[in-house]
Copies of this chain bind each other. A is one copy, B any other.
Amino acid sequence: MLRETNLATGRATILAQDARLRDTGEFGAIDRFASKLAKRAGVRVGLGDDCAVLDALNTPVISCDALVEAVHFRRDWTSAFDLGRKTLAVSVSDLASSGARPVAAFLSLCTPPDLEMAWLDSFYDGMESLAEEFDFSVAGGDTTSAPQLVLSATLIGELLPEAMGRPVLRQGAQLGDLVCVSGNLGASSAGLQLLLSGNATFSPAHAAVLERHFNPTPRLQTMRVLLEANRDAIHAAMDISDGLSGDARHIAQRSQKRLTIDANSLPIAATTGEVAEQLGLDAQTLALGGGEDYELLLCIVPQAFPALNEAVNGALTRVGEVVEGEVGVQVLNAGEACSWTHF
């Protein structure tokens, strides 16, 4: 642990100047948060000591994400509960795409001193809600004051038994592989564009894209089923957080291969198309370059596609191939601007 000293005043206190937390104090607040967080299987010592202690991990898989106020979220847009879920969901999504399940989460909560306890309560409820859903524990972290809300989460996971001891990395793509995605793309980005537009109308389509933006679902179950169906057929995977074309570049670079993506093949929900049209945006562009889809991007053996797709009830879409040629990503059938990217 690190002592907190306000270097402007020289006062060594934690959140003590904070009227909103004054009734509970730092350790009172930590106790209050801790009371919301259940300790589940795999955690031997959770909150309350110098360190957390876990049970043995066969193949530990770790992911980190930091969310910064005004950069990744706005408190006037998102609910505290949804933000709590998303703070952990984005890292669960990383673990899932590697073939791992979460075991324990650690949160550094850097918070302005005037944050309302009710907001923090709801934020912790949201974290616990996701932890319960995916059966892991929020097992530790750090609480400190900061001028701006910064949420840094580290998730410790373990390789799924279905992964047969081999994590799925970005680097395994092979010539001839199909490039596939799960679910549909562009909805989260459409939700963000809706928020940025200041558009205050409300329809089922608006609700659908906003839900995808605020409350993404990590595709752990999909990945588990795919690995169980045919581990050997899945050569590379990652989750789509930076947008399909950008993330495909990561696979291309790490695998030293050339990927093509056919813009006409992208799975786009009707609601995403509807919102894009209202905003005067191109849904294909959102699906190609928009971020935070948290769907799986996979490179798989072509012959395995039908059985894999059936195993996940048709959740997969073929969007491209791994082909001969220069390392990079080529987007086919799209506008000039994004038709070709390379290193």
* A343, closest chain B residue (CB): B27
CA A98 – CA B107 in complex, angstroms? Answer: 20
Q: Which of B148, B193, B241 contacts A1 (CB 8 A)?
A: B241
Note all chain B residues with C-beta closer than 8 A to A50.
63, 94, 97-98, 170, 238-239
Interface size on A, residues (CB 8 A): 81
Contact assessment for B94 and A1 in the assembled complex, using a CB-CB cutoff below 8 Å? yes
Residues of the B chain whose Cβ atoms lie less than 8 Å from the Cβ of A62: 51-54, 104, 106, 139-140, 156
Q: Is A171 an interface residue (CB 8 A)?
A: yes
Known contacts A53-B167, A57-B57: does B48 contact A4 (CB below 8 Å)?
no
Contact A2 B150 (CB under 8 A): no
A232 at interface by CB-CB < 8 Å: no
Q: Does A230 contact B (CB under 8 A)?
A: no
Question: Is A108 positioned at the interface, with any CB of B under 8 Å from its CB?
Answer: yes
Which chain B residues border A142 with CB–CB below 8 Å? 64-66, 152
Asked if A263 lies at the interface with its beta carbon under 8 angstroms from chain B, I say no
Q: How far is the CB of A252 from chain B (nearest CB, A)?
A: 13
CA distance A239 to B2 in the complex (A): 10
A193 to B12, CA, bound (A): 11
The docked-state distance in angstroms from the alpha carbon of A238 to that of B108 is: 20
Closest B residue to A57 using CB positions: B57
Q: Kindly state the separation between the CA atoms of A254 and B98 in the bound complex, as whole angstroms.
A: 38
Provide the bound-state CA to CA distance between A242 and B16, in Å.
14
| A98–B54 touching, CB < 8 Å | no
**In the complex, which residues 155-208 of chain A have their Cβ closer than 8 Å to any Cβ of chain B?**
156-157, 159, 167, 169-171, 192-193, 196
Q: Once the chains bind, are A239 and B1 in contact (CB under 8 Å)? A: yes
Complex CA–CA separation, A297 to B167 (angstroms): 40
Contact of A7 among B70, B152, B171 (CB under 8 A): B70
Given A3-B291, A12-B291, A196-B10, A49-B140 contact (CB < 8 Å):
no
In the complex, residue of chain B having the shortest beta-carbon distance to the beta carbon of A52:
B62
Any chain B CB within 8 A of the CB of A5?
yes
What 0/1 pattern do residues 132 to 149 of A give for CB contact below 8 A with B? 000000011110111110
The answer to whether B110 and A150 have CB atoms under 8 Å apart is: yes
Q: Which residues of B contact A12 (CB under 8 A)?
A: 243, 290-291
Residues of chain B within 8 A of A55, CB atoms compared: 59-60
8 sampled A-B residue pairs with Cβ under 8 A: A4-B72, A7-B72, A51-B94, A56-B58, A63-B140, A64-B106, A64-B142, A146-B148
- Other contacts beyond A45-B167, A53-B159: 20, CB < 8 A: A1-B63, A1-B90, A3-B243, A3-B291, A7-B70, A7-B77, A49-B170, A51-B157, A53-B62, A53-B167, A55-B59, A62-B139, A62-B140, A64-B108, A66-B110, A66-B152, A106-B154, A108-B108, A147-B148, A150-B152
